[in-house]
């Protein structure tokens, strides 16, 4: 049971980063289907940072945990934000179709990640992954409780803090109010003196940067530096987008939702004596539940359970 909970929380962390990043973007009125590709690009950036730092050391034992985490953190966020900036340029400034642009970003991000990773020196990924995923020193002394709650790397706790802080900012601050106003009615927000374009750009860049950490976490923390291709990370990106709908665009609820999705994903591998077909059906559960939530919220039509009113729609300032 303990390994199951630990694994579920680890998968939940990947999904939570992507979910929070997408929520921030959607609150600005932009449906970013490029999140899977952006998570892949965050992986490439973080891994490149790890390779550059570890490659400059005489021995992996000389690596500083703080520097390793900081460098990989910055590289991952910057790479993801750059690809998010391309999406922002196309959809905010050039007003391209958000759905098509997002899909193109995902395809590009996945392919670019595989290309970049083919040139990255991965010989140091194993020691770097073990260092980044190192848990709190007293976790083992607390038994099963310590393994579940404290037996994780820094990126797990950072994801939870990010979700809570994001929720507070969106609901309790003027910045959050302005961002939600931009997502609901950009014309009204513009008339009230809010810089709509600025808020959209910042939301997309910040959301992309946060989502990018999810992909990097999966490689360096969850699977300890192993790498095959970007397909798995891309799949988690699509699951993170579904999670946004499941938690009704609420980052704090995303913590619970991500754990449930993570549990559904992991349970397919821990249940014995099932066929491959049954395993794939179990892995479909998060998507089925998301569709059910979408249908129920559409029937009830409560405003607080609906997506931003201008989600997916380009803003033409000349029309206000």
Question: pLDDT for 22-64, tens place per residue?
Answer: 999 999 999 999 999 999 999 999 999 999 998 888 777 888 8
Mean pLDDT of 58-87: 92
- In this prediction the pTM is 0.94
CATH classification code of 2-311: 1.10.3470
Question: Hey, where are the domains in the chain?
Answer: 2-311
- Return d(Cα 314, Cα 320) in angstroms, integer: 12
The burial of 39, by beta-carbon neighbours within 10 Å (0-12 exposed, 13-18 middle, 19 or more buried), is given as buried
- Return d(Cα 94, Cα 123) in angstroms, integer: 42
Can you read off the two tokens belonging to residue 14? Answer: 């990947």
**Above 70 in pLDDT, residue 300?**
no
């Amino acid at each position: 049971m303990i390994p199951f909970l630990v694994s579920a929380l680890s998968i939940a962390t990947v999904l939570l980063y992507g979910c929070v990043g997408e929520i921030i973007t959607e609150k600005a009125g932009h449906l970013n289907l490029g999140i899977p590709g952006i998570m892949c690009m965050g992986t490439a950036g973080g891994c490149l940072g790890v390779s550059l730092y570890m490659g400059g050391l005489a021995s992996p034992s000389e690596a500083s945990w703080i520097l390793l985490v900081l460098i990989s953190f910055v590289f991952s966020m910057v790479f993801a934000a750059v690809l998010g900036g391309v999406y922002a340029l196309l959809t905010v400034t050039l007003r391209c179709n958000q759905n098509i642009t997002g899909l193109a970003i995902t395809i590009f991000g996945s392919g670019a990640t595989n290309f970049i990773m083919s040139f990255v020196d991965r010989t140091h990924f194993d020691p770097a992954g073990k260092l980044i995923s190192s848990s709190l020193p007293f976790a083992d002394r607390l038994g099963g409780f310590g393994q579940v709650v404290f037996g994780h790397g820094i990126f797990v706790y950072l994801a939870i803090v990010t979700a809570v802080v994001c929720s507070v900012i969106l609901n309790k601050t003027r910045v959050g109010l302005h961002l939600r106003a931009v997502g609901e009615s950009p014309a009204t927000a513009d008339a009230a003196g809010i810089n709509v374009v600025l808020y959209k750009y910042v939301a997309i860049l910040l959301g992309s940067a946060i989502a990018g950490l999810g992909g990097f976490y999966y490689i360096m923390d969850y699977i300890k530096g192993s790498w095959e291709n970007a397909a798995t990370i891309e799949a988690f990106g699509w699951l993170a987008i579904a999670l946004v709908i499941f938690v009704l665009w609420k980052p704090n609820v995303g913590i619970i939702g991500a754990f449930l999705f993570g549990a559904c994903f992991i349970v397919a591998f821990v249940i014995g004596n099932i066929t491959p077909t049954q395993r794939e059906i179990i892995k479909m559960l998060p998507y089925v539940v998301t569709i059910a939530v979408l249908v129920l919220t559409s029937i009830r039509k409560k405003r607080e359970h609906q997506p931003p009113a201008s989600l997916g729609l380009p803003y033409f300032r000349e029309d206000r």
